[in-house]
Amino acid sequence: MVKGHTNTQIAENLSIAVGTVKNHLKNIDTKLGVHTRVEALLLAGEYGLVKQL
């Protein structure tokens, strides 16, 4: 997600279904209290969970 990959690309890289990726991302968004990937990435950056590219 940090690298800007689509759900399909993430699924292919992890050898899982696209629906599984969507489910995981929805759960992440819910736990973080965000509504978009951008919000999730910004919050993750604030917490030091991801490296800047």
Q: Which residue do the tokens 């599984």 mark?
A: 20
State the Cα–Cα distance between residues 13 and 47, nearest whole angstrom.
25
Q: What is the pLDDT of residue 1?
A: 85
Q: What is the pLDDT of residue 3?
A: 87
Query: Could you tell me the residue ranges of all domains in the chain?
Result: 7-46
pLDDT at 50 over 80: yes
Instruction: Give the tens place of pLDDT for each residue, 12-43.
Output: 999 999 999 999 999 999 999 999 999 999 99
pLDDT at 52 over 90: no
Instruction: Give the tens place of pLDDT for each residue, 1-17.
Output: 888 899 999 999 999 99
Contact (CB, 8 A) for 8 and 19: no
4-19 b/e (C-beta count within 10 Å ≥ 16 → b):
eeebeebbeeeeeeee
How far, CA to CA in Å, does 44 sit from each of 1, 13, 16, 17, 18? Answer: 11, 21, 23, 24, 22
